[in-house]
């Protein structure tokens, strides 16, 4: 029994897909001038209405902790886009042949898919200067946001995603 607990814990951690984040930003932007933000009024996130509200609440609390304020006349606007896709499976077929001395051997392996297909969600966050209408910061996240999870699990996953996404905003200056 004691040996099965670490195995189950390892299996649980492996099944929880990591959140991957890619960043891009304008190096010439003075990020200290951006203190207020708002969202595009016609933003279509691609998420359900409830998940969109969870996401906006998580962003608001995270940006507020960074000293940014939600405003009716913002210095930058946030646009959120998302899509879901089926992650490629790790199925493989391998053929090998080898030998040593007078012995020759060969082999073949086939990867058989086990379990359901892994559906992942990509969420893109765009920060756009409201005066210039120019993109100055962007983050694209990929994670496994399960559609059939309970509301509390979804909220926790969204909060984790937002925390990881905005941990590198504003970018460190490289001057």
The dihedral through the CA atoms of 143, 66, 151, 156 has a sign that is positive
4-52 tens-digit pLDDT = 555 444 444 444 558 899 999 999 999 999 999 999 999 989 888 999 9
Percent of the chain with pLDDT over 90: 54
Q: How many residues does the chain have?
A: 175
Domain assignment present for residue 6? The answer is no
Domain assignment present for residue 38? The answer is yes
Domain assignment present for residue 108? The answer is no
Domain assignment present for residue 160? The answer is yes
pLDDT at 73: 96
Instruction: Specify the number of domains making up the chain.
Output: 1
CATH number at residue 128: 3.30.160.670
Domain assignment present for residue 52? The answer is yes
Domain assignment present for residue 159? The answer is yes
pLDDT at 173: 67
Is residue 106 predicted with pLDDT exceeding 70? no
**Average pLDDT, integer, range 113-135:** 84
**Residues 75 and 130: beta-carbon distance below 8 Å:** yes
Is residue 89 predicted with pLDDT exceeding 90? no
Domain assignment present for residue 96? The answer is no
Measure the CA–CA gap between 165 and 78, rounded to whole angstroms. 14
**Average pLDDT, integer, range 45-62:** 94
**Residues 87 and 122: beta-carbon distance below 8 Å:** no
pLDDT at 4: 56
Higher-pLDDT residue of 62 and 3 is 62
pLDDT at 62: 97
pLDDT at 95: 58
Element spanning 126, H or E: strand 119-129
Q: Mean of the per-residue pLDDT values for the chain?
A: 82
Measure the CA–CA gap between 158 and 125, rounded to whole angstroms. 13
**Average pLDDT, integer, range 55-68:** 96
Domain assignment present for residue 47? The answer is yes
**Average pLDDT, integer, range 127-147:** 91
pLDDT at 13: 44
pLDDT band at 63 (very low <50, low <70, confident <90, very high): very high
Range of the domain at 140: 18-87+117-166
């Amino acid at each position: 029994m004691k040996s099965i607990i670490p195995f189950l814990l390892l299996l649980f951690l492996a099944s929880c897909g990591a959140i991957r984040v890619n960043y891009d930003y304008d190096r010439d932007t003075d990020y200290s001038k951006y203190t207020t933000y708002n969202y595009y009024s016609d933003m279509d996130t691609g998420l359900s209405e409830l998940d969109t509200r969870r996401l906006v609440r998580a962003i608001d609390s995270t940006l507020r902790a960074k000293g940014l304020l939600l405003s009716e006349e913002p210095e930058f606007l946030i646009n959120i886009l998302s899509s879901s896709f089926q992650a490629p499976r790790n199925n493989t077929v391998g053929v090998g042949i080898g030998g040593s001395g007078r012995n020759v051997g060969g082999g073949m392996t086939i990867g058989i898919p086990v379990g359901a297909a892994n559906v992942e969600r990509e969420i893109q966050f765009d920060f756009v200067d409201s005066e210039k209408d120019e993109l100055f910061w962007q983050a694209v996240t990929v994670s496994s946001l399960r559609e059939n999870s309970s509301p509390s699990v979804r909220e926790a996953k969204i909060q984790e995603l937002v925390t990881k996404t905005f941990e590198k905003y504003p970018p460190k200056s490289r001057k």
